A and B are shown apart, each in its own frame.
Chain A
Amino acid sequence: MRKAYYTVEERELTQAMKPPAHTKGPARWIKDNLFNTWYNVLLSCLALICIFFISKALLTWAFTEAKWGVIPANLQLFGVGAYPREQIWRVWSVIYILCVLVGLSAGMWGGLVFRFAVVLGGVWFIGALLPFELSTRGWFLGAVAITAAALFLGRGRTALRPWILGGWLLSFPLIMIVLRGFGENSVLTSNWGGLLLTLILAVVGIVVSFPLGVFLALCRQSNLPAIRWVSTAYIEMVRGVPLITILFMGNILIPIFMPGLDINQVLRMGLAITFFSAAYMAENVRGGLQGIPRGQHEAAQAIGLNYVQTMLFIVLPQALRSVIPAIVGQFIALFKDTSLVAIIGLIDLLGVARSVIANPDWFGLQAEVYLFAAIIYFVFSYSMSYGSQEIETALGVGEH
Chain B
Amino acid sequence: MRKLLFRVSAFVLAIALVVPLLAEGEESILDKVKNRGRLICGVNKELPGFGFLGQTGEWKGFDVDYGRAIAAAVLGDPNKVEFRPLKAAERFPALQTGEIDVLIRNTTWTLTRDTDLGADFCPPTFYDGQGFMLRKELGITSLEELAGATVGVTAGSTTELNLADTTRALGIEVEPVVFEETETLYQSYDQGRCDVVTSDKSQLISRRQSLKNPDDHIILDVTISKEPLGPVTVHGDNKWNDVVSWVVYATFAAEEHGITQANVSTFKTENPEIKRFLGLDGSGGMGEKLGLSKDWARQVIAAVGNYGEIFDRNLTPLGLPRGVNKPWTQGGLLYAMPFR
Contacts and interface: CB of A to CB of B under 8 A. Distances in A.
B209 interface: yes
Interface in B196-219: 206-207, 209-211
Interface string A222-258: 0000000000000000000000000010011001101
7 contacts: A77-B55, A82-B59, A84-B57, A259-B98, A343-B87, A357-B46, A363-B207
A82 B90 contact: no
Interface string A172-207: 000000000000000010110100000000000000
Contacts of B318: 360
A74 interface: yes
Contacts of A358: 45-48, 52
Contacts of B96: 256
Interface string B59-93: 11000000000000000000000111111001001
Contacts of A352: 53
Contacts of B206: 360, 363
A81 interface: yes
Going nearest first, the 10 A-B pairs with the smallest beta carbon separation are A363-B210, A255-B97, A358-B46, A364-B210, A358-B52, A355-B53, A345-B85, A82-B57, A252-B93, A354-B46
Given A260-B23, A265-B84, A363 B209 contact: yes
B22 interface: yes
A103 interface: no
A102 to B, nearest CB: 27
B23 A80 contact: no
A366 interface: yes
Contacts of A347: 45, 53, 85
Interface string A344-364: 111100011011111111011
Nearest to A353: B46
Contacts of A85: 56-57
A159 interface: no
Interface of A: 73-74, 76-77, 80-85, 188, 190-191, 193, 248, 251-252, 255-256, 258-260, 265, 343-347, 351-352, 354-361, 363-364, 366
Contacts of A366: 183, 187
Contacts of B85: 345-347, 351
Contacts of B317: 360
B186 to A, nearest CB: 7
B169 interface: no
Given A82-B57, A258-B19, A260-B19, A344 B187 contact: no
B207 to A, nearest CB: 7
Contact of B82 (A190, A256, A351): A190
Nearest to B16: A257
B285 interface: no
Provide the main secondary structure of the chain A interface: helix
B97 A256 contact: yes
Contacts, number: 110
B57 A77 contact: yes
Nearest to B56: A85
A259 B19 contact: yes
Contact of A345 (B47, B55, B82, B86): B86
B114 interface: no
A94 B221 CA distance: 56
Nearest to A73: B55
A357 to B, nearest CB: 6
A193 B57 contact: yes
A86 to B, nearest CB: 10
Contact of B90 (A80, A81, A344, A355): A344
Nearest to A189: B82
Contacts of A73: 55
A364 B186 contact: yes
A354 B57 contact: no
B58 interface: yes
Contacts of A80: 57
B75 to A, nearest CB: 14
B215 to A, nearest CB: 16
Contacts of A364: 183, 186-187, 190, 210-211
B90 A251 contact: yes
Given A82-B53, A85-B56, 9 more contacts: A74-B55, A81-B53, A188-B82, A251-B90, A259-B97, A354-B45, A355-B45, A355-B52, A359-B60
B49 interface: yes
Interface string B143-180: 00000000000000000000000000000000000000
Contacts of B323: none
A80 B98 CA distance: 27
A359 B45 CA distance: 10
Contacts of B59: 82
A74 B86 CA distance: 22
A260 B22 contact: yes
